[in-house]
Amino acid sequence: MIQLLMALLGSAGFAVMFHLPRRLLGAASLGGLFCWFIYLVCQPVMKGYFLPSFVASAWGAFYAEILARVLKVPSTPFFVVAMIPLIPGSTLYYAMDQMVHGYLSLASAYGVQTIQCALGIGGGMSIAWSVCDLSRKIQKLKKDRPGRS
């Protein structure tokens, strides 16, 4: 519960830092909360770190695309802010920490975890993005067809 609230506030902090227009602040930070919620729900069901990040970030990207269409603004601000709670900051830190103390195998395990998360986030985003692109093109085709002879 606290985590969710903090995901919301943290995303809001980044949103302020990234100079989001004020009217978009709330919607964007809610994206962060939802993303983390999805991650939490997925984590016990799916093993590992890749899949939950993947699903959560795909969801975040869809959320961003939908908001962008509704509000007629670029989708970038929404998904950048929504992804922030998913960023594997803690595993990166633990990887470093273990390395300082000389536990190389633990360090590389955390390192791999970090990379898995990053790949998951990137993959989820691009899947969502390509689905949206597809839908846009199909819509365009539909619109163009009656015009053609």
Contacting residue, 27, 30, 82, 83, with other proteins by CB under 8 A = 83
Q: Which residue lies nearer to other proteins by CB, 100 or 146?
A: 100
CA gap 46, 105 in Å, rounded: 24
Residue 39 CB, nearest distance to other proteins (Å)? Answer: 12
Q: Tell me how far apart the alpha carbons of residues 38 and 40 are, in angstroms, rounded to a whole number.
A: 5
Contact residue for other proteins among 46, 73, 109, 131 (CB under 8 A): 73
Distant-in-sequence, close-in-space partners of 53: CB < 8 Å, separation ≥ 6: 39, 86, 116, 117, 120, 121, 124
Rank residues 105 and 133 by Cβ distance to other proteins and give the closer one.
Answer: 133
Q: Which residues contact 87 (CB under 8 A, 6 or more apart)?
A: 117, 121
Identify whether the C-beta of residue 28 lies closer than 8 Å to the C-beta of residue 82: yes
What character string, x for contact with other proteins (CB under 8 A) and - otherwise, covers 90-129? Answer: x-xxxxxx-xx-----------------xx-xxx-xx--x
Q: Which residues make up the interface to other proteins (CB under 8 A)? A: 2-3, 6-7, 9-10, 12-21, 24, 57, 73-74, 76-77, 80, 83-85, 87-90, 92-97, 99-100, 118-119, 121-123, 125-126, 129-130
